[in-house]
Structure 1
Amino acid sequence: MMEYGRPRLAVSSCLLGEPVRHNGGHCRSRFLTEALTPFVDWVAICPEMELGLGAPRETLRLERSPDGPRLMTRESRRDLTAAMAELAAGRAGTLQVDGYIFKAKSPSCGIRGIPLYAGDIAVDRRNRGLFADVVIRAHPLLPVEDDGRLHDAVLREAFVERVFAHARLRELVRGGPRPGDLVAFHARHKMQLLAHSPAGYQQAGRLVSQAGARDRAELMDDYSLVFRRTLAVRSSIGRNVNVLQHCLGMVSDRLDPARRADLAEVIRSYQRREVALSVPLALLRHHALGAAATYVQEQTYFAPYPERLGLRNHIAGV
């Protein structure tokens, strides 16, 4: 049975239903609170509340200045920039999570498209919220999304996949892995890495080949960096097809011609965007079980997160 690890996810508190919004309300996300909650541990954060602003409170916005964006209260004109930056730096310095879900459109927590004002005119809408910006700069490879983008099936699946992979890596590192542990971990993740970046897959493989010959801590640091960088590259239909065909090749000599032809046709159907990725994956996994193809069965690519989440049932569009 596939082991997933239990991710630790930072999240804007309002998305879990906490009444911390400027109007005293919340923005509870059903996906987070109903679908994800059974599988993750939440680290709820509301920077405005941590600054002591309370709820309800005066609204904030980013304003242009010669020294960069300033976080200002709209009516009383309080400048919260320094206080928020200090809070964010402190949080970023102690943050030990596998991903972060921010509240969209927030001048503190938004990760994109936040307006910058000059007077009452929005002169730039390409900014990040002040708190989010500090955290993301401190952790550039941390999987991050906002609640708005998680409505997109492709983005949601990509984010959750990375989060669970980061959690498995964290568990490996925490255990003080021996060379054999790293080799086994990498063997299970080969197809998943290949689906994201063939170059990253090769680089990770070269590092693993040095297990037992290099300092363990140094090697683990290098491998962790390559692992995270590789998964940060978006998978594509073409790379998925490459992996599917690779896996088909591993089991094809144990299949009769009709079943080989059926699998090949289903892979082509996925390539033509006629079926979801879950369809060829389910068939390959079924035939790998029948053929006792242990290597294929154990690949995290086939089940990168709990199947109950059902995140691969969409027709890919990229």
Structure 2
Amino acid sequence: MSGSGAPIRIGVSSCLLGEKVRYDGGHKHDPYLTEVLGRFFSFVPVCPEVECGMSTPREAMRLEGDPDKPRLMTHRTRVDKTEQMLRFCRDKVEQLAGEDLCGFVFKKGSPSSGLFRVKVYREGMPPTSGSGLFAAAVARRFPQLPLEEEGRLNDPVLRENFIERVFAFRRWKDFLAHEPDLGKLVRFHTCQKLLVMSHSTQLYRELGALVAKGKELPLPELLECYQGLYMKALELHATVKKQTNVLMHIMGYFKKELTTEEKQELVQLIGQYHDGLVPLVVPMTLLRHYIAKYRQQYLQQQVYLSPHPAELMLRNHA
């Protein structure tokens, strides 16, 4: 949910929502999107082929030629649909700019909507990998927007990274919507510390340096630079090693409060997480208990403790 309580808006390839818009007249309904993420997100469906004027069903198409500037060709009749699709892409991305999107899930392999490893055929040579024409246009127009393919959401690490970025982008947009200034940015940055550290200590330091010299920059430039670094940091994966470092960092706040036995128990749980024996939620649950018990105010404000709804169980995989 957004700060206003409204569902977070993300773009989705229409076929993934069960709409019968594919070239064969079918769909590729993804239950995880509609039944799980649909509890927290609202969807802005896009089918580039249908919306640019193609029929359903229609002849299959593929990308051909230069992977950096591929042509969209019908497979059997050899009709070039590139300009028709590119005109749609130019108009559609500007329309999407007004949709307040915080992410986009594309259909893998599609010559229009595939984000990664879409086959681009070249005469007499093996196919190379590229991006669908519409997916590439979205990536160019919204360089910080979290983007993913539905197939990759089956990977728990990629799924958590994408969803975490969607919620982070929503938090940032909510921050921008409430008359931001340097003081508010300092508070925002403080609350993001452990979350960003779990992705990149280097980019956390760069963000800190940016905020520290905030008075030297015009506010719009400062906010633009912060957004770029913030989303760049979160795009990096929060590995087990990075997460373990953050857990030990949190534990350091309780040096005086915990007994020797409590410290040993916590170290053991963190070690078990590090070794892949228990999921992240296990040591996090005990740390949350101590944070509440000892009223550790600095830690209580850390987004890292709940960067996304617990119901999604994103931290429950070992």
Match of 1:38 in 2: 39
Contact 1:116 1:122 in 2 (8 A): no
2:164 match: secondary structure: helix
**Corresponding residue number in structure 1 for 2:207:** 204
Residue number in structure 1 paired with 2:303: 300
Is the alpha carbon distance of 1:94 and 1:122 closer, same or farther for their aligned partners in structure 2, counting shifts above 3 Å?
A: farther
Give the deviation of 1:32 after TM superposition: 0.6
What TM-score, normalized by structure 1, do the two folds share?
A: 0.92
Q: Which residue of 2 aligns with 1:264?
A: 267
Out of 98, 102, 114, which is 2:102 matched to? 98
Amino acid at match of 1:103: K
1:10 counterpart letter in structure 2: G
Distance in 2 between residues matched to 1:304 and 1:122, nearest whole Å: 46
Change over 3 Å in CA distance of 1:225–1:47 after alignment to 2: same
Normalising by the residue count of structure 2, what TM-score does the alignment of the two structures yield? 0.92
C-alpha separation in 1, matches of 2:297 and 2:115? 41
CA distance in 1, matches of 2:149, 2:131: 11
Shift of 1:113: 2.1
Query: Does the 8 A contact of 1:255 with 1:291 survive in 2?
Result: no
- 2:256 equivalent in structure 1: 253
User: Structure 1, residues 17-70: CA drift from partner, whole Å, max 9, x if none?
Assistant: 111111222111111101111211211111001111121222111122699421
| Partners of 1:89 and 1:135 within 8 A in 2 | no
From 217, 221, 238, the equivalent of 2:220 is: 217
Aligned to 2:114: 110
Q: Who is 1:85 aligned against?
A: 86
**Which of 161, 166, 180 in structure 2 is aligned with 1:163?**
166
Deviates further, 148-157 or 212-221: 212-221
Residues 183-224 of structure 1, C-alpha deviation per residue, up to 9 Å, x if partnerless?
Answer: 221111100001111111011112222345643222111111
Map of 2:75 onto structure 1: 74
Conserved 8 A contact 2:161-2:235: no
- 1:239, 1:140 → 2: CA distance? 25
| Amino acid in the other structure paired with 1:183 | V
Q: Using the alignment, how far apart are the partners of 1:4 and 1:309 within structure 2?
A: 20
Equivalences for 1:116-195 in 2 at 5 Å?
116-118=120-122, 123-195=126-198
Paired residue secondary structure (1:162): helix
Equivalents in 2 of 1:72, 1:255: separation in Å?
66
Secondary structure at the aligned position of 1:89 is classed as: helix
- Whether the 8 Å contact between 2:67 and 2:130 is mirrored in structure 1 is no
Note if contact 1:4-1:305 (Cα within 8 Å) is conserved in structure 2: no
Amino acid aligned to 1:81:
T
Segments of 5+ residues of structure 1 without an aligned counterpart are none
Counterpart code for 1:40: F
Judging changes above 3 Å, is the alpha-carbon distance between structure 1 residues 122 and 158 closer, same or farther for their aligned structure 2 residues?
farther
The secondary structure found in structure 1 opposite 2:256 is helix
The residue aligned with 1:23 is 24
Shift of 1:111: 1.3
Work out the CA distance in 2 between the residues paired with 1:67 and 1:251.
53
Alpha-carbon distance in 1 for matches of 2:287, 2:68: 56
Residue 239 (structure 1) aligns with: 242
Does residue 67 of structure 2 align to residue 63 of structure 1? no
Instruction: State how far apart, in whole Å, the 2-side matches of 1:280 and 1:228 are.
Output: 26
Identity value in percent: 39
CA RMSD of aligned residues (A): 2.1
Amino acid at match of 1:277: L
| Structure 2 residue matching 1:253: 3-state secondary structure | coil
Q: Deviations over 1:44-101 (max 9, x none)?
A: 1110011111212221111226994210112332211112122223323343421110
1:50 aligned residue: 51
Write the deviation string for residues 131-166 of structure 1: whole angstroms up to 9, x where unpaired: 112222333332111111111111111110111101
Take 2:280 and 2:68, find their aligned partners in 1: how far apart are those partners? 48
Q: Check the 8 A contact 1:183/1:211 in 2, yes or no.
A: no
2: distance between equivalents of 1:187 and 1:105? 40
The answer for unaligned runs of 5 or more in structure 2 is: none
Q: Which residue of 1 aligns with 2:315?
A: 312
